[in-house]
Structure 1
Amino acid sequence: MNNSTSASAVYLKAGVDEAGRGPLAGPVVVAAVILDPARPIPGLDDSKKLSEKKREALYPQIVERALAHCIVVVEAEEIDRLNIFQATMAGMSRAVAGLAPAAHEALVDGNKLPKDLPCPGRAIVGGDALEPAISAASILAKVTRDRLMVALDASHPGYGFAVHKGYPTPAHLAALQQLGPCAQHRRSFAPVRLALDQVAPLREGHDC
């Protein structure tokens, strides 16, 4: 059965999940996935419960076998402009809107739904462990974001992004105090604002 035949024969449910709401730096990544019931993917689960090796192995299978998938990267600048919650909701709406074929329903991990989804939606607490399509979306989002943070580590060395992926670990907070924020740090997050406030007087004193 090809994808077009499968898509026309079933009610299409898109799983939607994000990765990276908590970090101090880098984007939040949102993915939406419509699985093909004719091409099951064994081993799907909440990305947080899977090893990096397992996530990386599942990623190409999801991309190849899903009826549709869409990955949206919401950069730090938009997070600061909208706030992390609104930026995540906007990313979810974009991811669902980017699916082809379009979904009949969006199953969103968590307890909140974006207001402007292009189809009816359902919020499912713990959905990344309950709904295979949400599990698949969580894996795409997590793998994509981890890869972006490894690349960010290469362009902004010293912060340890490849290790902690931007989360507020003691090592990251120490580097933030020592180096000050980089362009990909989220200025709207308190530890980054504090580091900026501490760096500004030092720069003024140096300029004088």
Structure 2
Amino acid sequence: KPEPHISLAELYIEDDRLDEAEEHLLQAKALATEPSQVAHIEMHLGEIAMEREQYEEALSHYQHVAELEPDHPDTWVDLAKAYEELDDPEEAEANYRHAIELQPDYEALYYDLSKMFTKYNQPEKAIEAIEEGLSANPDSAVLCIFLATMYLDSGDYRQAEVFLNKAARLDPDAPYVQMFRSVLNMAKFVPASSSSTPRKLSRSKKKKRR
């Protein structure tokens, strides 16, 4: 059975003993008979390749997982992250969006997509990604705080406070709400640097859900 080898490989991955993990995964792959087992093994082989910065190899493993388990959002997130490392933002975005189509209530997907846009210096799209998440999940305090954080980073304290207050109404006892309120209050009293003034971001129009 492949399961003991997979379990050992997972322990070795946690200890950053990638060569030993890979050896057990390859043994597990030779014993695997079910597509779900192969997908699990390929996912971990992709994880190892990512740790080694072998992004083409990681992409190949993740593509195999997508063929075997196309209905799992995390499969497409793994693909998106591999494309990001290969400096292919268009393919990365397409895979993030496919994951979102599969599970629109998965809040972290919008954050990951937004983070990618930020990485490629597309702040307007970064905000739009979180707004899309809020459109699909209007009761998400977490997404409100994500959006408030982005406005804070841009220097737009007014909009940051708007979404902080919305998050507070949705989940008043959440520790992250109180923490962000403290951060925002401190930021208001920090003088802006004379060398750089944060650029305020215009609010993007909400897109209709398909």
TM range (shorter): under 0.3
TM-score by length of 2: 0.22
> Which structure shows the bigger proportion of residues in strand conformation?
1
> Which structure shows the bigger proportion of residues in helix conformation?
2
Higher relative contact order (CA 8 A, sep 6+): 1
